[in-house]
Amino acid sequence: MTGTKGSGATWLFALGYFAAYVPYSALTKALSSGELGPKLQGLEVVPVTTTTSMLAMVAFLGLTGWWRAAGSFVTVGPLRLPRPSRWTFLSGLCTAAIVVTTTLAYTFEGVSIVLSMVLMRGGVLASAPVVDALGGRTVSREAKIALGLTLAALFISPVRDPQLTWVALVNVVIYVAAYFFRLRAMTHLAKTEDPAVTRRYFVEEQLVATPAAVVALAAVALLAPSSLSAPLTRGFLEVPFTSALAVLVVIGLCSQGTGVFGALVLLSPRENSFAVPLNRISSVVAGVGASLLVTALFGGEPLAAAEWWGAGVLALALLVLSRSKKPAPAKA
């Protein structure tokens, strides 16, 4: 668990994040493009994937016994259930927004996996040093260099005829804003060398994130105008009975995998200017791998030279991060 001394565990979590992200993004893009069965809209995809992620979260916390790390409990009849604090509840709501907007980002027609990552990862990366500055945390020289390299790698990727609708842009804004608040909460409450504190935060946030996302999607399906409610209603009531179900379940499981490993990377006691680039690099490299996989299996445009250059710069950033020293403690 993050909170151990040294960064070895954080690098292993980054590897797990990468391993889950490749199938997650590749399958989502392929399914929404009609390559793996009926072509589904983004809002038809998220009900099953998010519900699967919620069930996977319950299974993970139950099987590992980590649910016991919650800071407080409430008794409901014969059951003693963990409950979040005010701040982990709010952070969990932000994570719920991240879960839904991430999946939606890979379903927009005409918007590539790489472009989605440029927009979303770039915004989060830019916020990392701001969060560190607000929290009074010292940023290592290597982390600063890696942050700059990562931003450069993201923005040298070509934008090939993007069809960015206002919905896609709003999706990105929600994603980046949710991440900013989440990083602030993590920095203030959980980025510590004490593994008990880190695990408590992780568990309480996980208890909120996917259940809140499922409830929000169901509420929109029931209450929103038909342009929003109709595809969500189909996603809850019709899509589970189509041939797409198995793929959606795998996407949901992989999504939860990225949620677990990604959170553990971000909860590293290291500064955000180390943890966020490592997290973002893992996902962008996974996105390149997913793009190659989709192209190899289903056809489409190959990666451009600039995207390969970007991958090379990210590899250099990883090398720099691997030499990064532990930062000074946060200011009192």
Residue 167 falls in which region: left (phi positive, over 0), alpha (psi -120 to 50) or beta: alpha
Q: Which residue has the higher pLDDT, 124 or 263?
A: 263
| DSSP string covering 186-214 | HHHHT-SS-HHHHHHHHHHHHHHHHHHHH
pLDDT of residue 5: 46
Q: What angle do CA 252, 256, 260 make, to 5 degrees?
A: 170
CA-CA distances (angstroms) from residue 272 to 58, 190, 246? 28, 12, 36
135 vs 240, which has greater pLDDT? Answer: 240
User: Hey, what's the torsion of the CAs at 304, 21, 98, 33, to 10 degrees?
Assistant: 60
Q: What are the backbone dihedrals phi and psi of residue 272, each rounded to the nearest 5 degrees, phi first?
A: -60, -30
| Tokens describing residue 84 | 């979040």
Q: Which two tokens stand for residue 109?
A: 């027609």
Q: What is the pLDDT of residues 220-235, one digit of tens each?
A: 999 988 888 999 999 9
pLDDT tens per residue across span 62-106: 999 999 999 899 888 888 889 999 999 999 999 999 999 988 888
Cβ neighbourhood burial of 237 (10 Å; 0-12, 13-18, 19+): exposed
- Strands, E assignment, 131-231: none
Q: What is the DSSP string of 82-129?
A: EE--HHHHHHHHHHHHHHHHHHHHTTSTT--HHHHHHHHHHHHHHHHH
Q: Which of 260, 309, 251 has the alpha carbon at shortest distance from 284?
A: 309
Enumerate the domain spans of the chain.
8-322
pLDDT-based confidence at 327, cuts 50/70/90?
A: low
Q: In which band, very low, low, confident or very high, does the pLDDT at 178 lie, cut at 50, 70 and 90?
A: very high
Residue 268: which residues within 8 A CB-CB, separation 6 or more? Answer: 2, 7, 10, 191, 274, 275, 278
Residue 164 has a pLDDT of 65
Mean pLDDT lowest among 51-55, 88-92, 144-148, 150-154 = 150-154
Q: Partners of 83 in the beta sheet?
A: 72
Is the pLDDT reported for residue 37 higher than 90?
A: no
Total-model pTM: 0.83
Token pair of 57 as six digits = 């979260």
Element holding 74 (H helix, E strand): strand 72-76
Report the alpha-carbon angle 86-87-89, nearest 5.
65
Mean pLDDT of 39-67: 94
Residue 331 has pLDDT above 80, yes or no: no
Rounded average pLDDT over 270-288 = 81
pLDDT of 273 over the 80 cut:
no
Looking at residue 175, what is its pLDDT? 93
Rg over CA atoms, the chain: 19
- Tally the residues of the chain: 332
Residue 98 amino acid letter: I
Question: For residues 167 and 92, which has the higher predicted lDDT (pLDDT)?
Answer: 92
Which token pair is 309?
């250059």
Model confidence pLDDT, tens digit, residues 98-138: 999 988 888 887 776 767 777 787 778 777 777 887 877 77
CA nearest 124: which of 140, 141, 105, 142? 105
